[in-house]
Amino acid sequence: MTSWFPQPAASEITPPQVFAQRRRLLQQMAAGAAGASLATWAARDALAAATPAADKLAALPGVPSKVPGAQVQATPTPYADASSYNNFYEFGYDKQDPARYAGAMPTRPWTVRVEGLVQKPGVWALEDLLKLSPMEERLYRLRCVEGWSMVIPWEGYSLSRLLERVQPLGSAKFVEFVTQTDAQHMPGLRHGGLDWPYTEGLRLDEAMHPLTLLAFGMYGHVLPNQNGAPVRLVVPWKYGFKSAKSVVAIRVLEQMPTTAWVKAAPHEYGFYANVNPNVPHRRWSQASERTIGQGGLFAPKRKTELFNGYAEQVGQLYAGMDLKRYY
């Protein structure tokens, strides 16, 4: 299977090559942008064409999603940046550690346990999850709590498709996501900091919202391991840490689960973690961000939007809630 996007071998991730590739992409972007105002999908195609061939990731195309809010009006981050500047602490804290080390993690066979307060608990093989619903492509902005964001075309479908299939019981109120702990391939597990496995959680209505994506691919191909292969969550109106990578279990619960970040630093990370420019992180402002890929890693800042720009779609989930208290 051929694909346009490189999954760099560890030996290939040398700064000069990364920066040369970035410069090339930016030049191509600039050339395109000079011609006309670049429509989002045209920009995506230009990026695909501009990215060198020769990698081992299988194609995973999706039809452009019609879910309201699924196509942000922004230029996608170059694949080279989205796959080399990552948070995946199981592989280390350096932004390049995931791209360096995650490639060795086996992602087949892979199963996801669905358990807890559901009519139909069970173990899903990845192959069956891939077939559960048609693949859609959604262009989402993902905002990291650290102050950067990326605009990424993801392949997947609404998590609600899976939850509807397993039928949550009437008592269900929350969903917990448990991620992979592979001591042999995840050097970061030896470091302290977080209590592994990395876990996250959503309220059931958040998990059922059509924008909450179960993602298997990006840029038309299966996920590179550093981005959470073979299956991850993408919750575009919340800070990036809610978007759990390499998910192995989904638990439907009555009580709000404690998440890895809430356990590690309860005064800095709340359960909700909705993107909110008016609620600073305890140690820094959240009012602005750099969108990686628009000017490379040295992009000018843009103003952060409430719910990361998805307020129209998700604002009603929080009607009447004090967002300063429930951050």
Ligand X SMILES: Nc1nc2c(c(=O)[nH]1)N[C@H]1C(S)=C(S)[C@@H](COP(=O)(O)O)O[C@H]1N2
Note the residues at the interface with Mo ion (CB under 5 A).
87, 144-145, 240-241
Least distance between Mo ion and beta carbon 59 (Å): 28
Buried b (16+ CB within 10 A) or exposed e, 35-49: eeeeebeebbebbbe
**Is 291 in contact with 303 (CB distance < 8 Å)?**
no
Regarding 84 and contact with ligand X (CB under 6 A), the answer is: no
- Nearest Cα neighbor of 129 from 220, 232, 56 is 232
Q: What angle do CA 297, 211, 252 make, to 5 degrees?
A: 110
Regarding 151 and contact with ligand X (CB under 6 A), the answer is: no
The 10 Å Cβ neighbour count of residue 169 is: 11
Least distance between Mo ion and beta carbon 129 (Å): 25
Regarding 241 and contact with ligand X (CB under 6 A), the answer is: yes
The owner of tokens 């086996």 is: 106
Nearer Cβ to ligand X, position 144 or 202?
144
Q: Which of 4, 5, 89, 307 binds ligand X (CB under 6 A)?
A: 89
- Nearest Cα neighbor of 205 from 324, 313, 132 is 313
Contact of residue 246 among Mo ion, ligand X, none (CB under 5-8 Å per partner type): ligand X
Contact of residue 89 among ligand X, Mo ion, none (CB under 5-8 Å per partner type): ligand X
Regarding 174 and contact with ligand X (CB under 6 A), the answer is: no
Regarding 243 and contact with ligand X (CB under 6 A), the answer is: yes
Q: Between residue 179 and residue 198, which ones bind ligand X under the rule CB under 6 A?
A: 179, 198
Least distance between Mo ion and beta carbon 88 (Å): 10
Regarding 86 and contact with ligand X (CB under 6 A), the answer is: yes
Regarding 140 and contact with ligand X (CB under 6 A), the answer is: no
Nearer Cβ to Mo ion, position 188 or 240?
240
Contact of residue 70 among ligand X, Mo ion, none (CB under 5-8 Å per partner type): none
Calpha distance 174→257 (Å, rounded): 7
Least distance between Mo ion and beta carbon 122 (Å): 31
Calpha distance 231→156 (Å, rounded): 9
Contact window for ligand X (CB under 6 A) among 48-56, 61-69, 87-95, 154-162: 87-95
Calpha distance 325→327 (Å, rounded): 6
For ligand X, what does the binding mask look like between residues 40 and 79, x meaning CB under 6 A? ----------------------------------------
**Is 179 in contact with 248 (CB distance < 8 Å)?**
yes
Nearer Cβ to ligand X, position 245 or 251?
245
Distance of CA 124 to the CA centre of its chain: 21
Q: Is the dihedral of CA 316, 322, 324, 327 positive or negative?
A: negative
* Kind and range of the H or E run holding 129: helix 126-131
Regarding 97 and contact with ligand X (CB under 6 A), the answer is: no
Distance of CA 293 to the CA centre of its chain: 16
Question: 119: exposed, middle or buried (C-beta count within 10 Å: 0-12, 13-18, 19+)?
Answer: exposed
Regarding 212 and contact with ligand X (CB under 6 A), the answer is: no
The 10 Å Cβ neighbour count of residue 15 is: 8
Q: Which of 138, 245, 251, 290 binds ligand X (CB under 6 A)?
A: 245
Least distance between ligand X and beta carbon 96 (Å): 11
Residues of the shown chain interacting with ligand X in the complex, contacts defined by CB under 6 A? 86-90, 142, 144, 150, 179, 198, 227-228, 240-241, 243-246
